[in-house]
Structure 1
Amino acid sequence: MAHAFVSSRVVTPEGTRPAALLVEGGNIIAVCQRAEIPSDAIVYDCGSDAILPGLVDTHVHINQPGRTEWEGFRTATLAAAVGGYTSLVDMPLNCLPETTTVAALEAKRRAAQGECFVDWAPWGGAVADNQQHILPLARAGVRGYKCFLIYPGCDGFTMINQQQLEAALPAIAESGLPLLVHAELAGPIDEAAQSLTNADWRRYVTYLASRPDEAELEAIRLMIRLCRQYKFHLHIVHLSTALALEDLRAARAEGLPITVETCPHYLHLAAEGIPDGATVLKCAPPIRSAQNRDALWHALERGDIDMVVTDHSPCPPEMKRAETGRFDLAWGGIASLSLALSVMHTECVQRGLTLDRLTRWMSSAPAALAGLSGYAGALKAGREASFVVFDTEARFSVTSDQLHYRHPISAYMGETLRGRVKATYLRGEAIYFAGRNTDSNGGPFTSVPLGREIALS
């Protein structure tokens, strides 16, 4: 029997319109007019709440196995369901072992088994010495590769220098998969450090000065040159500096296969508003000025930035060093899986931007990056019925009980946001339903985790 989910605002590839999603057997069998709903269908009237395709986050640090005390599959995917995400792509570092070999990938798969409330897929790593593992990882199912041009904060996932990277690039190009690059070079950062010897590391301006725009800019210019030479799909992760936009625009106009992401914290927050000692707001690259933030928004609207993903990078609270407020000692990472859609919608309302654009940035574009377009990112017949019911008018103040990831600390604590997920569906099943008690703890989640690894098509 079909189930019909009806709304005056269903976000489809052709635009937002009144429609019904007809769902049967976990799949969308039609997107139709209300008058076309079969008479025997069970109807769920969502009124004016928007129905969006499930969000896709291609930049998530789940950290299991090995550092489940930071974050694990169960807590990360619970938080994702609350935030409207139905597909996550997990980064290959901060877990132990790091996902740089097929054996490590299999360890990750074992850790995820039966733990996921939403679907997931893996990225592999490109590190100093795993060039021989690049193609085996592709055959084993990774969606692409992540590399760091600078020390990544954990010893096991090594940075890759230019010589090592060039040794790996022929295999990466042969795989046809994207290379995701943390684009900062050490030279400008080391140079900046010389002027900060006696600086006060409780001040955010000190931390900002320690990660200058030039570190990103020089790294991106290097990667553009390598992309031109080796003809691989280059993806720039968490772009924070608007100074790189001109180079990226020119390279893409040249026809180079380059995509770019940024994150909600770079689009919502600004350096001028970060108090000294507020290490919960530390990330790398850093949150820059309000003027820079506005330039990122203009680039996103023009299409120079393709997508918005979270870079959900949690840690135990003590690693944020709140007791000292020293940015040089604190872990750099912002966790936002439960809130990213609301943060972005709040900004879009203020800027007059539509749900269609928001959905492209947070669903269809990241799905395309990870090769998931045939599976996720759009509401259309033949796709799995993974979607979100989103109350665009709801306003709420961020409190710790809304976060659901392992350690409920947030860069957005106390803020008032506009737009809230009412329900998240995975293959037609409500995995999160606000206000409904379904599990043994009286919470709003399905009692059995239904997520799975997204298989290669």
Structure 2
Amino acid sequence: MSLDLIVRGGTLVTPDGLRRADLGVSGGQIVDISPEIAAAGETLDASGLHIFPGVVDAHVHFNEPGRTHWEGFETGSRALVAGGGTSFLDMPLNSSPPVLGRAEFEAKRALGQQKSLVDFGLWGGLTPLNLDRLEELAEAGVVAFKAFMSHSGLEEFPAADDLTLLEGMRVAARHGLVVGAHAESDGLTRGLAEQVRAGGRTGVRDYLSSRPVVAELEAVGRALLFAEETGAALHLVHLSSGRAVALAYEAKQRGVDVSIETCPHYLHFTDEDVERVGAALKCAPPLRSGAVQEELWAELLAGHVDTVGSDHSPAPPDLKTSDDFFALWGGISGVQSTLNVLLSDGHAARGLPLEAVAALSALNPARRFGLAHKGRLEVGADADLALVKLDETFTLTELHDRWQQNPFAGEAYRGRVLHTLSRGHTVYHGGHFGPPRRARLLRPRS
């Protein structure tokens, strides 16, 4: 028997633990996992390396079409694969126009298949502008619907009022699709921002104080109530506090269909870093204090967080330059760093098991969004692999996103990604990228 590729001698990171084995690949899929594969075929030596399922980043903003000068499928996917990523789910904003109907979906799909280095899926929007178009988005193949419970920053993607969110969840439940919610209270964040700005206060600390943890907790509680009422599957994106995770996890324990996401920047940086770094660390919800961060880590280590997504959301330098911190575009460039943070701050610093790293970054997001054949190392799965030298410490200097205003740059991490394969083909190796191939559109499947 001959195989397309044999990855020899690596340590596989699986839900059942670590095992040294060879991987046999044919037709883009894993077809054999054995202590030693005797078949012929091209060989990739993985001795001394850990093999993770490629990162499935369920939360990126690659902004194409319309704002490709912010980021794009080509540069965004390059940064993703350099960090061990092999698939992503792109948000319906900040592309222009946003994905609010079938036509916008098809335009984005065509560009993604032309330019992306790896397979991808597309979120659809849930706003007051397109409640009557959710059915066509479901039929087109969106992986989920995204709603903001506070101002998104873009007038063309308004926040979902309570009725819109409730009715949108009913539609999603009928189609078996997930609703992702940016859970911050619009009333609280808007009112607090108006208060501090009216007093002429526009600095970093003023912005941080305008989006307190209680604004997150209020919106999380409301979203959970709507999900429980409608039977919808809810995905709470980028939770920034342990209290919000605990609130959602308690609801999950009583039967609410909810999954919980946090981001690398909430795990790695604190509010003090925002004062030090500035615009590159502005986001919503904002970064929290060290004490709140430790509470978030405690929830993650207890197994109460399901996924870690980058929420990669870059912008050109002119949108990141102002004396008014409120006026700066809010978004962090971090698609290249998810695995590094989980391995360094999690595994090396806090004892997070490698199996949990793989689950948070690959297995769980693939399962939650119905991505068949993704996120796991087993026979029948796509050969999406990240080969990592776990004991190597390095400083992140080589960036691949468009603007490279990356707050993770210059930080020291443990666990260097040496090689990334998508469906058995090399897409990244030692700073170089594989030849372009037509990316597959991922649709939700049970």
The TM tier, using the shorter chain, reads over 0.9
**Identity, % of aligned positions:** 36
Structure 2 CA distance for aligned equivalents of residues 206 and 279 of structure 1? 14
Distance 1:351 1:109, change over 3 A: same
- Corresponding residue to 1:340 among 315, 324, 338: 338
Matched position secondary structure for 1:7: strand
Superposition pairs for residues 56-455 of structure 1, below 5 Å? 56-193=56-193, 194-195=195-196, 197-198=198-199, 200-202=201-203, 204-275=204-275, 278-321=278-321, 324-348=322-346, 349-372=348-371, 374-399=372-397, 402-434=398-430, 444-455=432-443
Structure 1 CA distance for aligned equivalents of residues 146 and 334 of structure 2? 20
Structure 2 CA distance for aligned equivalents of residues 290 and 433 of structure 1? 36
Distance 1:170 1:274, change over 3 A: closer
Structure 2 CA distance for aligned equivalents of residues 295 and 24 of structure 1? 44
CA contact (8 A) 1:116 1:452 kept: no
Structure 1 CA distance for aligned equivalents of residues 283 and 292 of structure 2? 16
Structure 2 CA distance for aligned equivalents of residues 227 and 215 of structure 1? 19
Structure 1 CA distance for aligned equivalents of residues 190 and 418 of structure 2? 47
TM-score by length of 2: 0.95
1:21 partner amino acid: L
What is the deviation of 1:199?
A: 5.1
Structure 2 CA distance for aligned equivalents of residues 273 and 107 of structure 1? 38
Give deviations 1:382-406, integer Å, cap 9, x for gaps: 112111111112222222xx22111
Structure 2 CA distance for aligned equivalents of residues 296 and 53 of structure 1? 24
The aligned counterpart of 2:12 is 10
- Corresponding residue to 1:28 among 21, 27, 30: 30
1:403 partner amino acid: L
CA contact (8 A) 2:243 2:295 kept: no
2:427 partner amino acid: I
What is the deviation of 1:112?
A: 1.9
Distance 1:293 1:7, change over 3 A: farther
Give deviations 1:179-234, integer Å, cap 9, x for gaps: 000001122223423245335433x3222101111111111111111112111001
Structure 2 CA distance for aligned equivalents of residues 39 and 94 of structure 1? 47
Structure 2 CA distance for aligned equivalents of residues 285 and 232 of structure 1? 24
The aligned counterpart of 1:440 is none
CA contact (8 A) 2:142 2:443 kept: no
Structure 2 CA distance for aligned equivalents of residues 181 and 364 of structure 1? 21
What is the deviation of 1:45?
A: 2.1
1:414 partner amino acid: G
Give deviations 1:38-87, integer Å, cap 9, x for gaps: 25344322111111111100000011011100111111111111111111
2:428 partner amino acid: Y
Structure 2 CA distance for aligned equivalents of residues 243 and 299 of structure 1? 9
CA contact (8 A) 1:199 1:206 kept: no
1:4 partner amino acid: I
Give deviations 1:240-287, integer Å, cap 9, x for gaps: 122223322321111110111000000111113332571111000000
Matched position secondary structure for 1:275: helix
Matched position secondary structure for 1:267: helix
Structure 2 CA distance for aligned equivalents of residues 454 and 56 of structure 1? 11
CA contact (8 A) 2:12 2:52 kept: yes
Structure 2 CA distance for aligned equivalents of residues 275 and 456 of structure 1? 41
Distance 1:39 1:65, change over 3 A: closer
What is the deviation of 1:453?
A: 1.4
CA contact (8 A) 2:14 2:358 kept: no
Structure 2 CA distance for aligned equivalents of residues 70 and 40 of structure 1? 45
TM-score by length of 1: 0.93
How many equivalent residue pairs?
A: 441
2:14 partner amino acid: T
CA contact (8 A) 1:123 1:144 kept: yes
Matched position secondary structure for 1:396: strand
Structure 2 CA distance for aligned equivalents of residues 245 and 5 of structure 1? 38
CA contact (8 A) 1:394 1:419 kept: yes
